[in-house]
Amino acid sequence: MLRVLIVDDSVFIRTVLSDLLNRAPDIEVIGTACNGVEALPMITELKPDVMTLDIQMPRMDGIETLRQIKNLSYKPKILILSTLASRDAELTYKALRLGAHDFMLKPRNISKMRGIENELTAKLKQLISISEPKKCLPNTDVPAENIILIGSSAGGPPMLDQIFSNLKGEQNAAFVITQHMPEGFTAALSERLNRICPMPVKETESGDILNNGNVYLSKGGYHTVISRHVDERGRQGGQITLTKSAPVHAVRPAVDITFSSAAKVFGKNCFSVILSGMGNDAGEGALAIKNAGGTTIAVREEDCLVYGMARSALKRDCIDKVIPLNRIHREIMKYIANKE
């Protein structure tokens, strides 16, 4: 049984979260607190496995609570629940640096909180099951000849956790993740993934060279465009350019932009994966990869929170395989092994 302590200054949020989590057969809410002052003695007394933590609270906010938890003899895993405000983006990143283990965004419309049940329970369970791996530092001077592309949106972050925590280091490919997420929060997501992935993970910057064994997460608020690059030794590969061009499918970054541009550079050496997400983003990009001779797989519908993105590619008949989430990492490593 996973024992959870909820810390949030909103009575409504505490009530909704308690109701949602207590419905899960293997989760028990053992207490609630309205701020860090109340939460700290409850951590020592109740010893929760996981604590959900709001950032902005009266008397003692989430940031100060994290600082105080460092002095406790017992420390639970901590999931930050963050609003979509730009200030919270900065504070979420700071919270992860101070010891929080993961974060999740609250809906803009607080009345839609009940819609986060599946993703929330998945996040809490993964906090317990995923440990930090031994980091594999790649040879950063080897331009990637193969590229693994991940497209993800609503319901995708827990899937990214599962995939990248199970990958092996020293992969003969570069990885580019495009996750629909507001500007500012992808820095926190890259920080999170960098902890659990054996390969180094970074948020994309213009000028990044795609090198083997590295993971690049598309920066929120920008499209990640992949162009051809030739280094001083004449080796060909890919390079990232960030652009503030118009949103595509009402999102930026858009999976279609990254997938389609990568197809022009890497052609048959593109391997793309479509995870959970609403809307039509990824369909056109997956078709571009197919037309270039590359491969695309999608996670099966029953593993997804929303299946719009994968369905948009299936309608274009450009998905090579649909498989369960727990086999995605094996399929990626199999593809890379066959390229060696």
Question: Known catalytic residues?
Answer: 153, 180, 281
Q: How far apart are CA 70 and CA 310, in angstroms?
A: 42
Structure token digits, residue 228 = 């051809």
Q: Which helix (H) or strand (E) is 96 found in, with range?
A: helix 86-97
Sheet containing strand 77-82, strands side by side:
27-33, 2-7, 50-54, 77-82, 102-105
Cα radius of gyration rounded to whole Å, the chain: 20
Listed in sequence order, the residues at least 6 apart from 65 whose beta carbon sits closer than 8 Å to its beta carbon are 7, 35, 36, 39, 40, 53
Q: How far apart are CA 37 and CA 255, in angstroms?
A: 43
Q: How far apart are CA 56 and CA 274, in angstroms?
A: 34
104 phi and psi angles, rounded to 5 deg:
-150, 145
Q: Are 285 and 256 in contact (CB under 8 A)?
A: yes
End-to-end CA distance of the chain: 44
The backbone region for 244, taken as left when phi is positive above 0, alpha when psi lies in -120 to 50, beta otherwise, is alpha
Packed helices 185-196 and 156-166: angle between N→C axes, nearest 10 degrees: 30
Q: Are 216 and 175 in contact (CB under 8 A)?
A: yes
Q: Which amino acid is at 169?
A: G
Q: Are 78 and 99 in contact (CB under 8 A)?
A: yes
Q: Are 135 and 167 in contact (CB under 8 A)?
A: no
